[in-house]
């Protein structure tokens, strides 16, 4: 696998073509098309905001809650969608792998990259919320943002490559993964503040790699 990863720059044209095909195929026949990249995270945000505004009080240290929630929801959606789709990437693309000589690692990379594009398309909504709630970013925060995105891309890609390979041999992983991601979501400070989590919970949270990205 390491040898194939080293050779991947030779296939960058193929990766670009497959990412473009993936993006077009996802919304083919849809009336709103790429606008769903804006609408999906916004609708999910509205659901959580409604729950914590009218059904139960928002957790402490999360004001304004919509902005707090959206900052964690965007990277999590990229991460979770990439893992779920990558887990079956080698199985669904089995015929392509057998017929055409190219490394199988390309398929999880395409999935993670396509979801990163959706993440980027949803960033204008985050900018809108920052302006609306008058929460401007500092220059150090803006400078660190590309680094954080690069770290998440590498982390997500590593998990995607591992899961896609394991699912070929253990098909049950894809069903288990959805439940693991649900647990992982609530174990990450996305809907609540890290500072107001119990001390014992924060100790375990430090071992959660995505918690550091969300914070």
Q: Which of 142, 86, 76 is nearest to 113 (CA)?
A: 86
pLDDT for residue 2 = 56
Alpha-carbon distance 136 to 143, whole Å?
14
pLDDT for residue 92 = 74
| Local confidence pLDDT in tens for the 215 residues of the chain | 555 566 667 777 878 888 888 877 777 766 666 677 777 777 877 887 777 767 777 676 667 877 888 888 889 999 999 999 888 887 776 666 666 666 778 888 999 999 999 899 888 888 888 888 888 788 888 889 999 999 999 999 999 999 988 888 888 888 899 999 999 998 898 888 888 777 778 888 888 889 888 77
Question: In the 3-class helix/strand/coil scheme, how is the chain assigned residue by residue?
Answer: CHHHHHCHHHHHHHHHHHHHHHHHHHCCCCCCHHHHHHHHHHHHHHHHHHHHHHHCCCCCCCCCHHHHHHHHHHHHHHHHHHHHHHCCHHHHCHHHHHHCCCCCCHHHHHHHHHHHHHHHHHHHHHHHHHHHCCCCCCHHHHHHHHHHHHHHHHHHHHHHHHHHHHHHHCCCHHHHHHHHHHHHHHCCCCCCCCCCCCHHHHHHHCCCHHHHHHC
Q: Which of 15, 14, 12, 40 is nearest to 26 (CA)?
A: 40
pLDDT for residue 157 = 93
pLDDT for residue 4 = 59
pLDDT for residue 66 = 79
pLDDT for residue 175 = 84
């Amino acid at each position: 696998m390491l040898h194939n990863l080293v050779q991947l720059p030779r296939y960058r044209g193929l990766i670009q073509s497959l990412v473009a095909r993936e993006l077009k195929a996802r919304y083919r026949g849809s009336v709103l098309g790429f606008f769903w990249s804006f609408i999906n995270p916004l609708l999910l945000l509205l659901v959580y905001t409604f729950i914590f505004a009218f059904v139960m009080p928002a957790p402490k240290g999360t004001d304004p809650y919509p902005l707090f929630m959206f900052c964690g929801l965007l990277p999590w959606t990229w991460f979770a969608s990439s893992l779920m789709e990558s887990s079956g990437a080698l199985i669904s693309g089995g015929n392509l792998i057998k017929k055409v000589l190219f490394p199988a690692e390309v398929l999880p990379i395409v999935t993670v990259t396509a979801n990163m594009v959706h993440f980027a398309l949803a960033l204008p909504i985050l900018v809108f919320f920052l302006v609306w709630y008058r929460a401007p970013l500092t220059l150090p925060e803006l400078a660190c943002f590309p680094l954080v995105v690069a770290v998440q891309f590498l982390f997500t890609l590593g998990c995607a490559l591992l899961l896609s390979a394991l699912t070929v041999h253990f098909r049950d992983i894809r069903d288990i993964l959805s439940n693991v991601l649900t647990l992982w979501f609530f174990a990450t400070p996305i809907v609540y503040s890290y500072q107001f989590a119990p001390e014992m919970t924060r100790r375990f949270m430090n071992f959660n790699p995505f918690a550091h990205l969300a914070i």
